[in-house]
Amino acid sequence: AVPLVVAVSTSLAARSGLLIRDRSAFERAKDLQAVVFDKTGTLTEGRFGVTDVITFSDVNEDEILGIAASLEIRSEHPIAKGIVESAKERGIEIKDVEEFRAIPGKGVEGVVNGRTFRIVSPGYLKENRISIEDERIERIAGEGKTVVFVMENDAVLGAIALADRIRPESREAVKKLRSMGIKCMMLTGDNRFVANWVAKELELDDFFAEVLPHEKAEMIKKVQDQGLTVAMVGDGVNDAPALAQADVGIAIGAGTDVAIETADIILVRNDPRDVVDIITLSKATYRKMF
């Protein structure tokens, strides 16, 4: 039988917008020493708007956006949605794409009118030893924006900068957790300039940037190897293995099905401050049971 106090607090939790799927994880929440947040869609709203289009060639801005949107219309990524929206706003034609494929954690690829294009991360360029020295890119990176590059074969035609917003609730969540002595960290596939900017804004204890999807769970394991009991908070398909690895896996309610199915606890209100409630409620529930 479920002890009365646990049953009561489970319904209390439900009323606070917490869906507890694994009661033992809820119990472990009282011992948490670190919380690792995914960036995009968790600490930030995950809604990107295009702020700058930069060309490195005789291809103009609208053409850069048009190529990108033609590929991105096939992707579910928040960056993709921002690019497509911006192209539509500017009345740019979206063309048919063939041989589309996602390059997980790095970008997308496809063929338009017989030409092969790729929209990729700065990390992808680095891996392929392509260096871009451009003061416009440096300035944009310093502003905490996400940058993707538009390539045709091995040539970089241009770049698109996008901005997302930090959720106002994230500040309060981090502040409260840290005042409880809990370390706050961030994990992201995005570039280290953006990560550094968000980490500074939120006064995070640590962050890991340019993390590939398959590395997210390994990063959680590394934090656990430091002897810390750790929660992971995420929303994306890429976050699922990390949610499973963490001592407490927490999904944002508006997240992907995969994240929600993998998590121990779901934040129905999509509010990172509810992580504080999980811990407080867990402490109150299990404190006197031993």
Residue ranges binding ligand ADP (CB under 6 A): 38-40, 72, 75, 77, 79-80, 105-108, 119, 121, 146, 148, 188-190, 213, 236, 238
Q: Please report how close the Cβ of residue 117 comes to Mg ion at its closest, in angstroms.
A: 25
**Cβ atoms of residues 35 and 185 within 8 Å:** yes
CB of 15 to Mg ion, least distance (A): 27
Distance CA 120, CA 286 (A): 47
Long-range CB contacts for residues 263-266, cutoff 8 Å, separation at least 24: 263/21, 264/20, 264/21, 264/22, 264/25, 264/26, 265/18, 265/19, 265/20, 265/21, 265/22, 265/25, 265/26, 265/29, 266/18, 266/19, 266/21
Q: Tokens 């949610």: give the residue.
A: 243
Picked from ligand ADP, Mg ion, none, the partner binding residue 49 (CB below 5 to 8 A depending on kind) is: none
Nearer to ligand ADP, 49 or 213 (CB): 213
Give yes or no: 38 in active site.
yes
* C-beta neighbour count of 162 within 10 angstroms: 21
Interacting residues toward Mg ion by CB under 5 A: 38, 40-41, 235-236
CA distance 115 to 87: 20
In this structure, which amino acid lies at residue 155? A
Which is closer to ligand ADP, CB of 18 or CB of 119?
119
Report in angstroms how near the CB of residue 81 gets to Mg ion at its nearest.
Answer: 13
Rounded to the nearest whole angstrom, what is the least distance from the CB of residue 94 to ligand ADP in the complex? Answer: 15
Q: Which does 282 bind (CB under 5 to 8 A by kind): Mg ion, ligand ADP, none?
A: none
The residue at minimum Cβ distance from ligand ADP is 189
Residue among 75 and 245 whose Cβ is closer to ligand ADP: 75
Task: Using the minimum distance from each CB to ligand ADP, give the nearer residue, 118 or 176.
Answer: 118
Where helices occur in 120-215 by DSSP H, the ranges are 122-127, 135-142, 168-179, 192-202
The one catalytic residue in 22, 38, 264, 277 is 38
Q: Which does 80 bind (CB under 5 to 8 A by kind): Mg ion, ligand ADP, none?
A: ligand ADP
Distance of alpha carbon 250 from alpha carbon 259, whole angstroms: 9
For residues 194 and 173, give the distance between their C-alpha atoms in angstroms, rounded to a whole number: 20
With CA atoms as reference, report the closest residue to 266 among 277, 253, 279, 281.
Answer: 253
Residue 75 touches which of Mg ion, ligand ADP, none (CB < 5 to 8 A by kind)? Answer: ligand ADP
**Minimum gap (Å) between residue 255 Cβ and Mg ion:** 8
The catalytic site residues sit at 38
